[in-house]
Amino acid sequence: MKNKLISKQSIALFIAATISGITLNTWWNANAQTTPTKPTPPKYTKLQDVKNFSIKGNGKAFQPRNLQQTNQPDKADDQEFKRGVIGWDDRVPMLSRQYPWSAIGRVQGLTTKGEEYHCTGTLISEDVVLTNSHCVIDPETHQASQKILFLPNLINGKVADESDIAQVQNVIYGTDFTKTKLENQTDDWALLKLNKPIGLKYGYLGWKSLPSSTLTKNRNKYIFVGYSGDFPNTDKEKYRFFTAGKGWTASVQQGCSIVGEEGNVLLHDCDTTGGSSGGAIIGVIGNQPYIIGLNNAEYKTRDGKAIINLGVKIDFLDKLVGK
């Protein structure tokens, strides 16, 4: 399902782009998680009102000593998941509980209407997760989610330790979708402050704010991970051991590209569908994985045959920590 790319599009394309990627779903009871009648909503703070906020590490990665680093996301630690790799699209299942895959997880939210949904998030500090703003604030109603959980390194609906499922206490967001459409696109990011420092156990990724000329020069070099709502397809024989269903195991694409930048908006060809919003685009620099962009939307042509995937530049993190 390699996405086709439209070249030389005008900035009007992005103004018309629809932010997508949230997948509504029913909470899987096997995770022993229940939604209280009156959940405690996180505190929401817009960027301009942020005071004394720090991200430990300031962009540097952290790999726990007990976790090995591996570039093989589909190499499982448990015998349960040691299966063959499926080759009909560019994605493979994230089965590894080693670093850096351990730092990626599923963002599970509850809207003000009581509807559950999910996105993707990445630990960037011991207690901070990076995702999209539209994963915590409804772009249409501007209403903030009343409850948000982060499920680290979720594989087939399971985390390594259910006590590590973290609740989001504070949200810092780039937009509440009351700005211009272009500003909503470029500012579609959010930082989720967790109630426990699980990044010390799972590790976290650093980030590198690189010029677009550098990003586009390195074709087929980037990695994208997301809890896509169409993955894995359990109708396929080799996927049938994924008993939790679609969206409960992340898909990984290795070898996608940043193909351009217009109006401060990144264009990329990484495979994405609903649920992968908030997923990090990762580059390996000096043998270390760094976040170099943030997936957040797609634009479809009027005939629906061609797609451009859009991303958020990561330089806002530098400004936030004063780099």
pLDDT above 80 (res 32): no
pLDDT above 50 (res 8): no
Q: How many CB atoms lie within 10 A of CB 20?
A: 20
- What percent of the chain has a predicted confidence (pLDDT) above 90? 59
In terms of pLDDT, which residue wins out, 90 or 72? 72
How far apart, in whole angstroms, are the C-alpha atoms of residue 13 and residue 260? 14
How far apart, in whole angstroms, are the C-alpha atoms of residue 213 and residue 266? 11
Q: Say what the pLDDT of residue 254 is.
A: 92
Confidence band, pLDDT 50/70/90 cuts, at residue 57: confident
How far apart, in whole angstroms, are the C-alpha atoms of residue 120 and residue 105? 6
Q: Are strands 206-207 and 265-268 parallel, antiparallel or unpaired?
A: unpaired
Q: Say what the pLDDT of residue 301 is.
A: 61
DSSP class per residue in 71-94:
S-TT--SSGGG--PPP-SSSEEE-
Sketch out the chain's domains with CATH numbers.
Answer: 12-321 (2.40.10.120)
Region 170-186 average pLDDT: 94
- What percent of the chain has a predicted confidence (pLDDT) above 70? 81
pTM given for the model? 0.87
Q: Say what the pLDDT of residue 306 is.
A: 56
Q: At 316, is the secondary structure helix, strand, or coil?
A: helix
In terms of pLDDT, which residue wins out, 257 or 58? 257
Confidence band, pLDDT 50/70/90 cuts, at residue 89: low
pLDDT above 60 (res 166): yes
pLDDT above 70 (res 17): no
Q: What is the pLDDT of residues 94-103, one digit of tens each?
A: 999 999 999 9
Q: Say what the pLDDT of residue 6 is.
A: 43
Region 123-130 average pLDDT: 98
Q: Which of 119, 168, 130 has the alpha carbon at shortest distance from 297?
A: 119
Q: Say what the pLDDT of residue 84 is.
A: 36
Q: What is the pLDDT of residues 194-213, one digit of tens each?
A: 999 999 999 999 999 999 99
